[in-house]
Every structure is written in C-alpha cells, then in structure tokens.
Chains A and B, each alone.
Chain A
C-alpha cells in the first residue's frame, strides 16, 4: 500500500499557464516533504521542500502548499515553461528516520509551447 500517492500519472499544460501537481499521503507522522524533478536518462534533482510546521514554501516560480488536515500537498509552477516538462516525484520522510524517504510514483508533466 503506497504511503505517498500521486494519482495523476500525467498532466499537460500550455506554456505560460499554471501547472498544479498533487500529492496525497497516508501517514500523519510524516513531517518533511520534498519534490524532485526528473528528466529522461538522468537522476532526480531536488526542487523544493516543506516542513510540516509550515503550510507554504516558495522558490521563484515554484510554490509548495501543505494541507496537513487533508494529508495533501501540491506543487504550483507559475508560469510553466517547456523546460519544466519532466517527471515530478513527491516524497515524504519521518522525523524519526530522515534517511527513509518514501517516494510517490511520479507525475509526468508536459508543457506545450
């Protein structure tokens, strides 16, 4: 049973519009969340993170929102660019075991010029 879920395997967005990638988790003990981006034939690269004590974290065009009561987080990309086309992984970890990061299955984002 997946503890971190990304229910949309793929998403297509027009260039310049907002991309919203969603992630749900089942373990209420998770206290740190990360988003990674992966291009084909490359390893994932870290994008942005958020601690459970916050509900929003922003870094340039990327913003992550955390709704603890709903066990839901989302990644907003504004404006979307063709170079953002990649697979995005949501990940979560426990304070008691930061090394054991649980990854979701990923969402493939296509930004159409």
Chain B
C-alpha cells in the first residue's frame, strides 16, 4: 500500500517548456488535490477533483491544467512553464468529499523553471 505517489521527484525546465506531473493513489479515495508550496506561503490549492470526472479551480489555477484520468490518477500539466511556477508541488487525496476528514499527501515534486 504505497498511499499517494508522485512522479517525477525533481524536474528542471526552461521557460516555455511543458510538462505533466503525475499523481496516483491506491487508497480508493474519491477526492484528489494539487497544491504548490512556496516559502512563507504555506500550501496553496491549484486544482481539485471531488470525484472521478470532475475538476474545479482552487486558489491559484492560472497556468495549469488538470486531468482526472480515473479514480486513482490525477495529473497536473504546465503548458508553458514560467519562472513563477518554480515551487514544490504536492498531490493529495481524501476519502470523501463534502465531509470532515483529512488529506493524505504525496512526497512532492520539486520543480525549477529557468
């Protein structure tokens, strides 16, 4: 039982390049999330998916797209990377939407955009 896994762990991009961050969970959770963490800012929600087939914008969605491929997988795409997107990205999942329960986080992807 791996929990939440993310690939890659590290990535360096040049401005304008594109890439997809992959996330998968094996806990049969319904909801999945993408956050970014920047120094002094805490974690900020980029996009979330309350259930398979649905996605919604979070606090900082500009410059990102997401795909909820199936119940297990939720990917984050940067179409044209910018230096402002240098950050650590965390994927998370939660058992049920619409109820009080905690999120489980992956180990993170450290992205640098030059």
Given A32-B100, A99-B48, A99-B50, A45-B105 contact (CB < 8 Å): yes
Asked if A4 CB lies within 8 Å of chain B CBs, one says yes
Which among B12-20, B65-73, B91-99 touches the partner chain? B91-99
Q: Number of contacting residues on B, CB 8 A?
A: 29
The number of residue pairs between A and B whose CB atoms lie closer than 8 Å in the complex comes to: 57
User: Is B41 located at the chain interface by the 8 A CB criterion?
Assistant: yes
* Contact-size category for A: 20 to 34
Q: Report the bound CA distance from A32 to B103 in whole Å.
A: 13
Binding site secondary structure of chain A: strand
Minimum-distance CB pairs A-B, first 4 = A43-B105, A46-B102, A103-B42, A103-B43
Write the residues of chain A forming the contact surface with B, with a CB cutoff of 8 angstroms. 2, 4, 9, 32, 34, 36, 41-46, 49, 51, 89, 98-106
Chain B residues packing against A (C-beta within 8 Å): 4, 31, 33, 35, 40-45, 48, 50, 56, 58-59, 90, 92, 94, 97-100, 102-108
